[in-house]
Structure 1
């Protein structure tokens, strides 16, 4: 299996409400969010099949959550992958809020 020659990078794309992970300049996946006050609600994470099995989802989500901390916001892990990541990485527990019915209803409305 070929290893990418450069480390993956993660960018926040504010206009699209998502973070993207790039491998050699190509988008390999994304995690999507909506902001609700001081909360960043993550609701979907995907890695393109061509890039599966390289640990990119973890790279992506770690970078996204680190950015949330730096921006002073809090994490709401509606996305199952983000929730699973947070169970394994307790360094983000202090800025994680629970997923509530209110958040889910709000997210449905936001996403139309």
Structure 2
């Protein structure tokens, strides 16, 4: 019988991402940049050692819940976040479409 793991999600503002940890060890993250009232998600990654546990879904759910609480909107450039949103209509009211303008703006922030 295995010991239950402690899973925690925290917003790491200095790194522009939400991080998920398992028993205190960083397991993954979803990265964003803020553009006015939008939080633009562009990359999600879970370490291979933690794959298959549903951590990405848990991470994105917590991140989007935090976005809602902050009064912001979501732009899902990240393919995983976009896929998550298709299955979780409860976030449709805070989701904005990915536009060429937002993609162009993001490029200027990342490179």
Question: Could you say which TM-score interval applies, normalised by the shorter chain?
Answer: over 0.9
State the TM-score, normalizing by the size of structure 1: 0.96
**CA-to-aligned-CA distance 1:53-77 (integer Å, 9 cap, x gap):** 0000000000000000000000000
Aligned counterparts of 2:65 and 2:2: Cα–Cα separation in 1: 25
Aligned counterparts of 1:3 and 1:86: Cα–Cα separation in 2: 32
Deviation of the 1:3 alpha carbon: 5.5
> In the superposition, relative to structure 1, how do residues 34 and 81 fare at CA in structure 2: closer, same or farther (>3 Å)?
same
Give the match for residue 15 of structure 1.
Answer: 14
Give the match for residue 80 of structure 1.
Answer: 79
**CA-to-aligned-CA distance 1:71-111 (integer Å, 9 cap, x gap):** 00000000000000000000000000000000000000000
Give the match for residue 102 of structure 2.
Answer: 103
DSSP 3-state at the match of 1:40: strand
State the TM-score, normalizing by the size of structure 2: 0.97
Deviation of the 1:7 alpha carbon: 3.3
Aligned counterparts of 2:56 and 2:72: Cα–Cα separation in 1: 21
1:1-112 map, 5 Å: 5-112=4-111
Aligned counterparts of 1:7 and 1:107: Cα–Cα separation in 2: 34
Given that 1:4 and 1:24 are in contact with CA atoms closer than 8 Å, whether structure 2 keeps it comes out as: no
Aligned counterparts of 1:58 and 1:3: Cα–Cα separation in 2: 22
**CA-to-aligned-CA distance 1:22-50 (integer Å, 9 cap, x gap):** 00000000000000000000000000000
Q: Could you list the runs of 5+ residues in structure 2 that have no partner in the other structure? A: none
